[in-house]
Amino acid sequence: MNELIFLLQIATICLGLLGAYKLGSQALVSFVCLCAVLANLFVLEQISLFGLSVTAADAFAVGAMIALNMLQEKKGAVSAQKALVISFWGLIFYALVTQLHLAYLPSIYDTTAPAYQALLQFMPRLTLASLAAYFLSQKLNIFLYTIMRTQMHRFLVLRTYATLLISQLADTILFAFLGLSGLVPNIWTIILFSYSVKMITIALAAPCVALAKRL
């Protein structure tokens, strides 16, 4: 059942990517920001997928990166760099306002406070690890895509796969070591499981970049 939902999730992200590309560069920037926030929100849920224990957020991390690649195809590397800064600021804003929200004293009639507390509770190490991994891996993605776009101008899908696979590997390793090292019994198992799901997502979603160019 989870595998079917996962495929539907990827299909929904692909439709969102294509719609954002059609709407223009501002919509792509918005999509990057939205995927970044959703990835940080959904990362708390653990699911079983293809026999692996993973988070429910990896597809959104890949979606944000594909949207940046689409933006780079449409407007160039400078626009992609600016979108990255905007989305990073959005993540910082999200982290701040969620903690302000939790600071409110709930009404005696409120029944939702425990749920918000469980979802939005501040975990400094994980939050900082997530921010660092996101920013650095996205910078790497933009850098690699710029080089490959020059060297492999005619091989759009190939360079998309290459940059996504390398950048998402960097993201997975950075987050694992910065946020989970010393907290889990086998960090390499976590990296392997998470990256396996990301590879499946990339394999299914990366062709969106080429398809968007035909719209």
Distance CA 106, CA 170 (A): 40
Q: Are 67 and 28 in contact (CB under 8 A)?
A: yes
CA distance 32 to 142: 13
Pick out the chain residues at pLDDT < 70: 183, 215
pLDDT in tens, 154-171: 778 888 899 999 999 999
Q: pTM for the full model?
A: 0.89
The overall longest dimension of the chain from CA atoms, in Å, is 63
What confidence score (pLDDT) does residue 3 get? 87
So what's the pLDDT on residue 74?
87
**190-195 CB contacts, 8 Å cutoff, 24+ apart:** 193/52, 193/53, 193/54, 194/54, 194/55, 194/58, 195/168, 195/169
Q: How far apart are CA 46 and CA 9, in angstroms?
A: 15
Alpha-carbon span 187 to 200, nearest angstrom: 20
